[in-house]
Chain A
Amino acid sequence: MHGTRILQEADRLMTVCNSCRYCEGLCAVFPAMEMRRAFSDGDLNYLANLCHACGACYTDCQFSPPHEFNVNVPKTLAIARAESYAAYAWPRALAGAFARNGLVISLIAALSVATFIFGFAAANDPGVLYGIHTGPGAFYQLMPHNAMALLFGLAFLYAILALAMGVRAFWRDIGEPVGMTTDRKALLQAIRDAGELRYLDGGGVGCFNEDDRPTDRRKLYHHFTFYGFALCFAATCVGTLYHYLLAREAPYAWWDLPVVLGTLGGLGLVVGPIGLLSQKWKRDRVLVDEQRMGMDTAFIMMLLLTSITGLALLLWRETGAMGPLLALHLGVVFALFITMPYGKFVHGIYRFVALVRYARERRMMEHS
């Protein structure tokens, strides 16, 4: 017996799949399944987080609906995955944030933006908010750098703490696999697998989205999104180092490293999320955890807003719109940080841990 109805269903499906195994070449889920004969809650949550939702096993399955065996692995594991995010949420009291996630994230984002605009307006006279500021330290006319760094540093640290606690809960749930944390090769393998989205390709055929043809472009859009995000994050880090190590203050020239990284990242973070949203729109509902479409959409929208407001700030930073745009951008980024542990962002963290475990299990098998 399992803790939830969806894990009960996941167990039923893994029992069917383990007696078939035709899909073992498609991804990591099925080989991981084959290493087991029975499935604990933790095993099923591990498999659910290992699944990249490529859809190939559904299209290839001779037992998918309307067959009486009613095998729909992508949808079942998607629901199990989402339920696991809530189960691992820290503090527990905030697990409910996953329930109506789209609404929760939108409210927090709106509140955060409003607070920054209101805060800027209250802290400075209106002339400052709508004034034209140029040269080093222009942004800090509106908010002192140290205050900005402290506020965002705290928000970021909180996100890291909450995510780490979530990973700890996941780790315990999957039975704290021995040797996983010290296996450097498994870690490197997982970094490679995550970095190239190795398992989002239907075993080489391609992924499925709107129908039974492998025409899905999510992998490409995800790369734009992920690497765009990474470049933006790098831009922020470089800017911080410039400030504290070299005493060079923002805004930087268009050719300077933080701006180059931020612009490239920002563009990736526009193309990627728009692509992902369009794919999500078209996706065959039979593969989707429909109840939680809002969670995915909210996170993608947050990323898109981050990049659009950041690029707008870059374009109009020498005009009177800079003040409101800065407030908007900072509000969105702040909301992104504090909602990270309570939304779709966590999928990457748990999936990465699952990939490390899988790499470790594979290595153990090959040495046994």
Chain B
Amino acid sequence: MTRRFDVLVIGGGNAALCAAISARRAGASVLVLEGAPKFYRGGNTRHTRNMRCAHDAATEILTGPYTEEEFWKDLLLVTGGQTDEELARFMIHESKDILNWIVEQGVRWQPSLGGTLSLGRTNSFFLGGGRAMLNALYRTAEQLGVDILYNAEVTDLRIEDGMFLSAQLKQPVNGKTEVRASTLVAAAGGFEANIEWLKEHWGEAADNFLIRGTPYNRGSILKMLLARGVQEIGDPTQCHAVAIDARAPKFDGGIITRHDSVVFGIVVNKHAQRFYDEGEDIWPKRYAIWGRLVAAQPEQIAYIIFDSTVVTSFMPTLFPPIAGQTVAELAGKLELDPAALEKTITEFNAAVQPGTFDHTILDDCRTEGITPPKTHWARKIETPPYLAYPVRPGITFTYLGTRVNKQARMLMKGGKPSANMFAAGEIMAGNVLGKGYAAGIGMTIGSVFGRVAGREAAKNARN
């Protein structure tokens, strides 16, 4: 790259493209380096589906108001207070305008289809999903004259005293491997696809994790920034993990490998033993804890076991349930000890109390006298064929990131703001999300801080 760009964006997802577009609209010359090939561009944005934005009134895509205050309370709830309040409230306020701004960048929200689609009140859905949203952002960026390179893996960053000077590319472009720019926006995601790095915090168990999103989020940019004096934020052992089908691919299985049938049966480990209250809480909290629970079991594997009476109670699944006419036959197929599984199910059935089943509320169907209990939605598993889904922890994203301020400007160790480095998206999500997750917040972080980072970087470059 012979020319020097005003803004260099590393990454190619929602945050990166929002940054590139807003910097370009502010008059800067912009280069985007996406490490993945074109099909896989966009990191985990490819697998997303919606965004959580505050709004004061119902629209044709949202069923009712979702005030800044309510958004803040929800965020407080899921993070248990592990969030930077000033930054979070700033993001929530900015999210209001993002609803319209993102449409101006060509992204389309899904309107109601007159009864077929249930729209959300808090979250707006992308028409066609995350990849459609990305395609729109890329088209807009290209039309505005943003330069974009694919397969552009960055191997090194030259940073001196908190000031970005240049990036080194693995493959030369126009004969050069060094890219210089006045400012940097790092929007290259977390490190959830880097099994070695996960092992540092999880040990050998990480070998049995499945990575739900892109195989390209290896955290190399994050690692370089932290090694060159940027202040870190977030817990390196924290990641968003859910229980997904054990038959899913190692990487990039996306949304469709998830299971939400826990509530309709029991969950056993490889010794055919139950290990946690399957009826503890309502979706989505339930959804968010089972990844970690399975990660703590031997060989990181578990089996959701249910019977044929509930098969239509949850969304159709990618992989069919494994079936047996008897518990013993099912155990054989799952390679579990048949006697142990029969004993677990018999004891569970004996403990089920009469009640009125309603999976939308914390109902009164519970067990008595077994440990762990199933405190809601407990019904006997007795109608063959007996069915099971094998599940493993599916990692969605990691929380470790770079500290930023309200300009999306990185802060160096010691608190000094960087001269010309900004961060947006998953690489700085830990500022807002210390732990926990609520649907669509990742995209809010990406769009809001991406837009801010691009704007500020453009301003910075021209000064």
Chain A interface residues (CB < 8 Å from chain B): 15-16, 18-26, 31, 34, 37, 56-57, 59-64, 66-68, 202-205, 212-213, 362, 365-366
Contact = CB atoms under 8 A, between A and B. Distances in A.
Contact of A203 (B39, B115, B128, B254): B128
A16 B114 contact: no
* For the complex of A and B, 10 pairs with smallest distance between CB atoms: A22-B129, A60-B128, A60-B132, A25-B110, A19-B256, A19-B318, A62-B46, A18-B316, A31-B116, A366-B115
A269 B135 CA distance: 35
B128 A56 contact: yes
A24 B315 contact: no
Interface of B: 39, 46-47, 49, 108, 110-111, 113-117, 125-132, 135-136, 139, 249, 252, 254-256, 312, 315-318
Given A20-B254, A23-B128, A57-B128, 9 more contacts: A18-B315, A31-B113, A60-B131, A62-B46, A62-B129, A67-B252, A205-B108, A205-B128, A362-B114
B316 A26 contact: no
A72 to B, nearest CB: 13
Given A19-B316, A25-B113, A31-B116, A213 B139 contact: yes
A365 B116 contact: yes
Nearest to B44: A62
Contacts of B129: 20, 22-23, 60-62
Contacts of A22: 49, 126, 128-130, 132, 255
A78 to B, nearest CB: 19
Contacts of A365: 115-116
Given A60-B129, A60-B132, A19 B315 contact: yes
B113 A15 contact: no
Contacts of A18: 315-316
Contacts of B46: 62
A37 B316 contact: yes
B135 A60 contact: yes
A68 B135 contact: no
A362 B315 CA distance: 19
Contact of A62 (B111, B114, B131, B136): B131
A62 B135 CA distance: 11
A20 B256 contact: yes
A65 B129 CA distance: 17
Contacts of B117: 24-25, 31
Contacts of A64: 39
- Most B C-beta atoms less than 10 A away, residue of A61, A62, A203: A62
Contacts of A23: 128-129
Contact of B108 (A24, A57, A204): A204
Contact of B131 (A25, A34, A61): A61
B127 A26 contact: yes
Given A62-B254, A365-B115, A366-B114, A203 B316 contact: no
Nearest to B115: A366
16 contacts: A15-B318, A20-B256, A22-B49, A22-B126, A22-B255, A25-B111, A25-B117, A31-B117, A37-B312, A37-B316, A56-B128, A60-B131, A62-B254, A67-B39, A205-B128, A366-B115
B116 to A, nearest CB: 5
A62 B126 CA distance: 13
A177 B462 CA distance: 66
Contacts of B318: 15-16, 19
Contacts of B115: 362, 365-366
Given A19-B316, A19-B317, A20-B254, A26 B128 contact: yes
B127 A212 contact: no
A147 B65 CA distance: 72
A25 B126 CA distance: 9
A203 B132 CA distance: 11
A57 to B, nearest CB: 7
Contacts of B125: 25
Contacts of B256: 16, 19-20, 63
B312 A59 contact: no
A212 B137 CA distance: 13
B139 to A, nearest CB: 6
Contact of B39 (A24, A66, A204): A66
B136 to A, nearest CB: 8
A204 B116 contact: no
Contacts of B113: 24-25, 31
A205 B254 contact: no
A362 B116 contact: yes
B255 to A, nearest CB: 6
A71 B112 CA distance: 26
Contacts of A63: 254, 256
A7 B127 CA distance: 27
Nearest to B111: A25
Nearest to B109: A25
A60 B316 CA distance: 21
Nearest to B42: A62
B135 A59 contact: yes
A60 B114 CA distance: 23
Contact of A212 (B130, B135, B316): B135
